[in-house]
Amino acid sequence: MDRRPIGVFDSGLGGLTVIREIKKVLPGEDIVYFGDTARLPYGNKSKETVTRFSKENVRFLLKFKVKLIVVACNTASSVSLPALARLFDVPVIGVIRPGVERALEVSDGSAVGVIGTRATISSDAYKRLLKRRIPEVKIISKPCPLFVPLVEEGWLDNNITLRIVSEYLGDLKKAGVKTLILGCTHYPLLKSAINKFMGKGVRLVDSAHETARTVKRVLKESSLLSDRTKSRSHRYFVTDEPANFKKVGEMFLGTRIGFIKKVNI
Amino acid sequence: MDRRPIGVFDSGLGGLTVIREIKKVLPGEDIVYFGDTARLPYGNKSKETVTRFSKENVRFLLKFKVKLIVVACNTASSVSLPALARLFDVPVIGVIRPGVERALEVSDGSAVGVIGTRATISSDAYKRLLKRRIPEVKIISKPCPLFVPLVEEGWLDNNITLRIVSEYLGDLKKAGVKTLILGCTHYPLLKSAINKFMGKGVRLVDSAHETARTVKRVLKESSLLSDRTKSRSHRYFVTDEPANFKKVGEMFLGTRIGFIKKVNI
């Protein structure tokens, strides 16, 4: 039994999809969220820089005596998880492994696609983990650098978005991909456009739900679950001005953001 | 006569277009360039955060005893120039005023368009300055947040880019814009696509050349010109890994980058 909060970080807003799922499966847990909005995006930056940022973010969250840390950002999970695990004592959970577990559950043995930022795809983190679990399956990965700016522009389903989706995903469709891992927390917002192009038979894997299940399992196994049935506080910290984060974040979360504060780290 | 270097900063690579022009008109000047590649882009961040970054960048450049600072970034010029001028003794030159001067030179009195990042356009920096100089002219501005990611993806002139250009610039064309200020150092790379859509009669204003002329004039007026006819050193500092900056930067510059170093500020 442990009433300390869970710490979650992302480069910006995307990680809120993970928060939404954690709140569903763990309604009694307090949460401290950190969004590095002044330095986003992470997806086009080097492994070294993203790892440095990730370490700083974890150090910030540790000030709140968090009992577990969720790296709710695919790029940071892809490139910095080993370094974080080495450096810090607290359990650290990324979004890659849960996404892979989910893909294995829904896959029928046909080709698996992975899409993400340039940094995530170059890291080969998904590919390596998938290869280890299903060595015989064909894996095709593709960086889609314009997807995040499209989501941020709010062009979720217009003709231009459909053209960009078909440009990026053409090879995956041709190769017969039937399971597609959305390896970036922004991409679920493009589900409708991606479905239209790939066809209804293709299963889209979004790691948020699976990550929340992993968090619950790890807390349980380590006897770190809170004994409360209702959480006391969800606090949000960001590095750029909070106004836009709050507005768009409430859309991501589907609930109001009560406590939000700008910090310099 | 003053042999100290000129300091130039940008959020990333775009400012190199200004360097290229400075080298042409001031071949005897040494240059220290700072590209904040770990925290880019600036264009979708708040005034407060961009101003904080700009101050840190200037402080870094002052370590090299620079005699003048060029803010080679439209976003930083739009939102932080007054703060920098208040804080620091060294002359600070932005790219907005030179762009406006150039627009006035080429304008025939018909509508003037201004495009840039969300932060640049919201700041109204171009609009205010244009209004003061030509109060009777119609000014139409439009943020084009997808242009920078398009340039970075290398899609300078394909069908998708043309569709996005027509989506963003449709209203400006309809309004009869004949002079279009490219209010972001990345946008000159989209000149061909923009020209195709707007038509050959439209003059595109790129502030790089005009900014370099302003630098020369200010140095001359303050007796700060170097007496050398050939520069001794051009040094480049970046906050993310230098490899990609060097590669793409040499394309922007048209020459080799000799000295480049990663720094944390």
Q: Domain limits of chain B?
A: 6-94+209-262, 96-207
Interface size between A and B, measured as CB pairs under 8 A: 59
Confidence tier at B251 by pLDDT (50, 70, 90): confident
Q: Which of B40, B48, B49 to mutate to test the interface with A (most CBs of A within 10 A)?
A: B49
Q: What pLDDT shows up at residue A200? A: 87
- What Rg do the C-alpha atoms of chain A give, in angstroms? 18
Residue B181, φ and ψ in degrees, nearest 5: -80, 120
Q: What pLDDT shows up at residue A163? A: 98
Q: Does B260 touch chain A (CB under 8 A)?
A: no
Q: How far is A146 from chain B (nearest CA, A)?
A: 6
Instruction: Please indicate whether, in this complex, the C-beta atoms of B145 and A159 are within 8 angstroms of each other.
Output: no
- Of the candidates B52, B149, B239, the beta carbon closest to that of A146 is on B149
Give percent of chain B above pLDDT 90. Answer: 94
pLDDT tens string B20-55? 999 999 999 999 999 999 999 999 999 999 999 999
Q: How far is A51 from chain B (nearest CA, A)?
A: 11
Confidence tier at B76 by pLDDT (50, 70, 90): very high
Q: What pLDDT shows up at residue B98? A: 97
Length of chain B in terms of residues written: 265
Is the pLDDT score of B102 beyond 90? yes
Q: What is the mean pLDDT of residues B174-202?
A: 96
User: Among the options A8, A13, A31, A73, which is catalytic?
Assistant: A73
Q: What is the dihedral of CA A14, A150, A43, B252, to 10 degrees?
A: -150
Chain B residues whose beta carbon lies within 8 Å of the beta carbon of residue A45: 37-38, 240
Q: What is the mean pLDDT of residues B200-211?
A: 93
Q: What pLDDT shows up at residue A251? A: 79
Options 3.40.50.1860, 2.10.25.10, 3.40.50.800, 2.60.40.420; CATH for A96-207 is 3.40.50.1860
List strand residue ranges (DSSP E) for chain A, in order: 6-10, 31-35, 68-71, 92-93, 112-116, 139-143, 179-183, 203-206, 234-238, 259-262
Is the pLDDT score of B254 beyond 90? no
Q: What is the CATH number of domain A6-94+209-262?
A: 3.40.50.1860
B96-207 and B6-94+209-262 share a CATH fold: yes
Q: What pLDDT shows up at residue A252? A: 80
Residue B84, φ and ψ in degrees, nearest 5: -65, -40
What ipTM was reported for this prediction? 0.92
Instruction: Please indicate whether, in this complex, the C-beta atoms of A48 and B241 are within 8 angstroms of each other.
Output: yes
Q: Which residue of B has its CA nearest to A143?
A: B153
List the pLDDT tens digit at each of the 265 positions of chain A.
Answer: 899 999 999 999 999 999 999 999 999 999 999 999 999 999 999 999 999 999 999 999 999 999 999 999 999 999 999 999 999 999 999 999 999 999 999 999 999 999 999 999 999 999 999 999 999 999 999 999 999 999 989 899 999 999 999 999 999 999 999 999 999 999 999 999 999 999 989 999 999 999 999 999 999 999 999 999 999 999 999 999 999 899 989 978 889 999 999 999 8
- Of the candidates B48, B153, B164, the beta carbon closest to that of A241 is on B48
Q: Which residue of B has its CA nearest to A239?
A: B49
* A144 catalytic residue (yes or no): no
Q: Does B146 touch chain A (CB under 8 A)?
A: yes
Q: Does A110 touch chain B (CB under 8 A)?
A: no
Measured between alpha carbons, how far is residue B90 from residues A102, B36, B68, B163, B210 in Å? 57, 20, 6, 44, 20
Is the pLDDT score of B94 beyond 90? yes
pLDDT tens string B226-250? 999 999 999 999 999 999 899 989 9
Q: Does A38 touch chain B (CB under 8 A)?
A: yes
User: Among the options A151, A177, A184, A238, which is catalytic?
Assistant: A184
